[in-house]
Amino acid sequence: MYLLHSYLLKMTNNIKEQIKTDLQQAQETGQLKAERIREIVKSAVSQVSAEFQEGSHEVVSLVNDAVSTVVENLQAKGHAIQDDVIASIQGAMEAVNTKKQASIFKLKTELKELQEKLNQEEESLQTQIEAILTKIVETNQDKSDDQKIVIDSAINAIKDTEEVGLLKKRYAQLQAQIAIIKANLAARYSGNEKEVQYYLDDAKKWYEQTSYQVESLTVQIREKHSTLEDKMREVGAAIAHKESQLKQRLRDLLLAAADLFKDKDKVINS
Residues whose CB falls within 8 Å of the CB of residue 86, separated by 6 or more in sequence, listed in order: 34
Domain-located, residue 155: no
Q: Residue 50: is its pLDDT beyond 80?
A: no
The pLDDT, as a whole number, for residue 154 is: 82
Residues 88 and 179 occupy one common structural domain? no
- The burial class, CB within 10 Å (0-12 / 13-18 / 19+), for 76 is exposed
The pLDDT, as a whole number, for residue 54 is: 58
Q: What total number of domains does the chain contain?
A: 2
Domain-located, residue 113: no
CATH number for the domain harbouring residue 234: 1.20.120.660
Q: Identify the domain containing residue 73 by its residue range.
A: 2-97
Residues 187 and 87 occupy one common structural domain? no
pLDDT digits (tens, 9 = 90+) for 223-258: 887 888 888 888 988 888 777 788 888 989 988 888
Domain boundary among 97, 115, 146: 97
Domain boundary among 77, 97, 117: 97
Q: Residue 51: is its pLDDT beyond 60?
A: yes
Model confidence, pTM: 0.60
The pLDDT, as a whole number, for residue 242 is: 77
Residues 173 and 88 occupy one common structural domain? no
CA distances from 183 to 4, 29, 187, 196 (A): 39, 32, 6, 5
Residues 180 and 260 occupy one common structural domain? yes
Residues 167 and 265 occupy one common structural domain? yes
- Pair 249, 256: CB distance under 8 Å: no
* Rg, C-alpha atoms of the chain: 27
pLDDT digits (tens, 9 = 90+) for 192-221: 788 888 899 999 988 888 765 444 556 777
CA distances from 95 to 54, 100, 215 (A): 11, 10, 50
Domain boundary among 56, 82, 97: 97
- The burial class, CB within 10 Å (0-12 / 13-18 / 19+), for 42 is buried
Domain-located, residue 144: no
Per-residue pLDDT band at 268 (split at 50, 70, 90): low
Domain-located, residue 116: no
